[in-house]
Structure 1
Amino acid sequence: MRVDIYSKPKCSLCDKAADVAEAVRARIPFDLRIISILEDPALFERWRYDIPVIAIDGEPTFKFRVTEAELEARLREVQGGMSVAKTDAQDG
């Protein structure tokens, strides 16, 4: 399982999302990538007003804020073979 966090430097919400992901990763193993939208013009155009965006296995799942409980619940769903549910993050 892979979790990507689309972020940018000096973004307090992005830092919080990364902290949440690290805390959850202590309980559920997954690969974590922090991706700066400043390094890719396409990512910048797509996500610049929505960061942080958390994608699970390539599917945007959360944006702006996520709690440990929300992320853990979604990861357990994916781990159990259920598809990632559509959320507001997928509207953009």
Structure 2
Amino acid sequence: MDTIKLQLYTKADCPLCDEAKESLEPLAAQLPIQIEEIDITANLGLFTKYKELIPVLELEGKRLFVHRIHVKGLKRKLMWRRWRRWFIDKGRRSTYMADVGSAAPDFTLTGTLGSEDTEIPDFNENVDEIRAKNAEIIAINRDSAFAHKAWSEHLGGVKFPLLADMNLAVSKQFGMALEEVGITNRGVIIIDAEGNIAFKHVEDAPPDNTLAVNQ
């Protein structure tokens, strides 16, 4: 797999920078990552940009962490990127891909309200606007209905159902299953009134999907 290149911005006399470097060392032994340390002390442009944030960890220009690096969270981000890239390169995401213009597969799943997906609060805030367009939202992932219920309560309630696809059967039908790692891919599928797939979007990171739905 390709090496993942990270940029760590540091400065002189920075205890948090030393802490960040130490925390990244074990991760470098577990994953194919290359960490480029960039000292901003002598670079006026970088110093002006980053001086209040140091240390900063970035991936391809995208800011991942500032001040303190949460290693577990970083590992999840990097593992997700690593596996998704491998599946795309090998063409092994699923044996069936439901594409735009094709009929959406029928399915039945156990449902509840809520999700541990970070996109759910965003959709929850916009659900009334989406329903005003005669559309409905459902969310699907591999967690159990019990986990979804607990998360819904943590969020203070969610206005649309989350369906439990614990064996990934429905995710496979829609081409959204990463079978060898046992997870669902992240994305949005819009099904029109005739039951056909009108829109499909898959992302490495959480996209602004409510904009896509409203359009």
**What pairs with 1:9-24 in structure 2 (closer than 5 Å)?**
9-24=12-27
**What pairs with 1:54-69 in structure 2 (closer than 5 Å)?**
54-69=57-72
CA distance in 1 between partners of 2:65 and 2:14 (Å): 16
Q: Provide structure 2 residue ranges, at least 5 long, that are not aligned to the other structure.
A: 86-202, 208-215
Local SS of the residue matching 1:50: coil
| Match status 1:77 vs 2:80 | yes
What do residues 20-79 of structure 1 show as CA deviations (whole Å, max 9, x unaligned)?
A: 111111111111111001132111000000000000122111101112211111111222
Question: Relative CO higher for 1 or 2, CA cutoff 8 Å, sep ≥ 6?
Answer: 1
1:83 counterpart letter in structure 2: D
| Structure 2 residue aligned with 1:50 | 53
CA distance in 2 between partners of 1:66 and 1:85 (Å): 20
Local SS of the residue matching 1:43: helix
2:19 counterpart letter in structure 1: K
Name the one with the larger helix percent.
Answer: 1
Give the aligned length.
86
Sequence identity percentage: 26
Distance 1:85-1:13 versus aligned 2 partners, 3 A rule:
farther
C-alpha RMSD of matched pairs (Å): 1.8
TM-score normalized with structure 1 length: 0.81
Distance 1:48-1:85 versus aligned 2 partners, 3 A rule:
farther
TM-score normalized with structure 2 length: 0.37
CA distance in 2 between partners of 1:9 and 1:23 (Å): 23
CA distance in 2 between partners of 1:10 and 1:77 (Å): 34
2:53 counterpart letter in structure 1: D
| Structure 2 residue aligned with 1:90 | none
Deviation >4 Å, runs of 4+: none
Q: Provide structure 1 residue ranges, at least 5 long, that are not aligned to the other structure.
A: 87-92
CA distance in 2 between partners of 1:84 and 1:55 (Å): 14
